[in-house]
Every structure is written in structure tokens, then in C-alpha cells.
Amino acid sequence: MKPRCLLPLTRRLSTRRELLSASTRRLLADTGASIPIVKGPMYPGSNPELVAAVSAAGGFGVVQPISLTHLYGYDFREGLRLIKSITSRPFGVNFTILENAKYKRQMEEWMDISVDEGVKFFLTSLGKPGKIVAFAERHGVKVYHDVHTPEVARKVADEGVAGLNCLNSSMGGQTGNRSVFTLTLTLT
């Protein structure tokens, strides 16, 4: 079979929203992306040019702040501004929630800067996202949280997140152990 280019397909999708599921339409509304393709945060793979390229193509790039600063060497705000200089399309920022006091202060500073730079979407992982949700609500930011079991999904839903990033057995690189089908069925 002749290989087909993804771009025409995604263009067709972006103009035929009625073909998308309600949850995909919700994802597009919450992120501001025009096609349902997300470049998840990756330590170490999330350089700012990649985040910008995915968003510029209509998908949604998500920044991994530790990659941006410690690995690629950007001041956090300058890194966000670099992305904004490449594309005016929206992108998100990932916050891994860890109970280390020094890291927490750093994360809060990054959250303030993100809001200041116009970021409207946080993807949180690990920990309890309730405090971040409260902060985000004050600033019109949507929060989705990474979940890999129905139990975690229920807990974080109770903390008010707007959506769940369901880590499943076909995800790249990490350890989701339920199939998309099983996870979706147990959550609906």
C-alpha cells in the first residue's frame, strides 16, 4: 500500500470536528490545539524547538521544565519565550509533583512564570494535584494529570483536574500496564 502523509489526514480532521469523539473535542478545546496530537513532556527529549514545532503544526507541545533548564540550559522564562518566538500557537507545561521543599519552591516559581508568559495548560504527574488545580483555576489554566490506574484516576478527579492523561500499555518508554481498552472501560 502506498504510504500516506499524515498532514493531509490531520488537516481533514481539523476541518471535520464532527468526526471526533466528545473527549477529543474537549481535549482540543482545553489545549487550544487544532489537531489531536500531543507531544508529551519527556525528560530528556523535550527541547524547545520540538515543543514549538508540534504546536506550530496544529498539535500540542508540552514543555518538560527540568529538561528545558537543566539539560538544555535555558533560563525557564527565556525558554518559554524562545518557543513563543517560533510559534504563536498554544503549548503546555508539565509539572512533576515531588515532595522535596527546594524543588517545590522551584516548581511554584515556574508555575508563576508560565502563567505570566500566557501558558493555559498544565500537565501534572505523580503526587496530588489539588493545590496546582487551585492555583490554575485562579489563572484560567486547565490541568490534566497523568494516571495509570483507575484508583489514581478517581483520586485526582476528586482533586478537580479537568482531564486525565491515561498511561497505558502501549505508551512510549514507560510502565503503563493496562491496555487502552481496559483503562478506558474501567474509567467510564
* DSSP single-letter state for residue 170: T
Among the listed residues 42, 53, 152, 187, the single contact to ligand FMN using CB under 6 A:
42
Rule CB under 6 A: say whether 71 interacts with ligand FMN: no
CA-to-CA separations, 145 to 52, 82, 89, 122, 133, in angstroms, rounded: 22, 26, 22, 8, 10
List the one residue out of 138, 125, 137, 144 whose CA is nearest residue 65.
Answer: 125
Q: Is 165 in the site for ligand FMN (CB under 6 A)?
A: yes
Which residues does residue 147 pair with via DSSP β-bridges, in sequence order? Answer: 166
Nearer to ligand FMN, 34 or 92 (CB): 92
Contact region with ligand FMN (CB under 6 A), list: 29-37, 39-47, 53-61, 180-188: 39-47
Q: What angle do CA 14, 17, 18 make, to 5 degrees?
A: 155
Binding mask 97-136 for ligand FMN (x = CB under 6 A): ----------------------------x-----------
Point out which residues bind ligand FMN (CB under 6 A): 40-43, 45, 64, 94, 96, 125, 146, 165, 167, 171-174
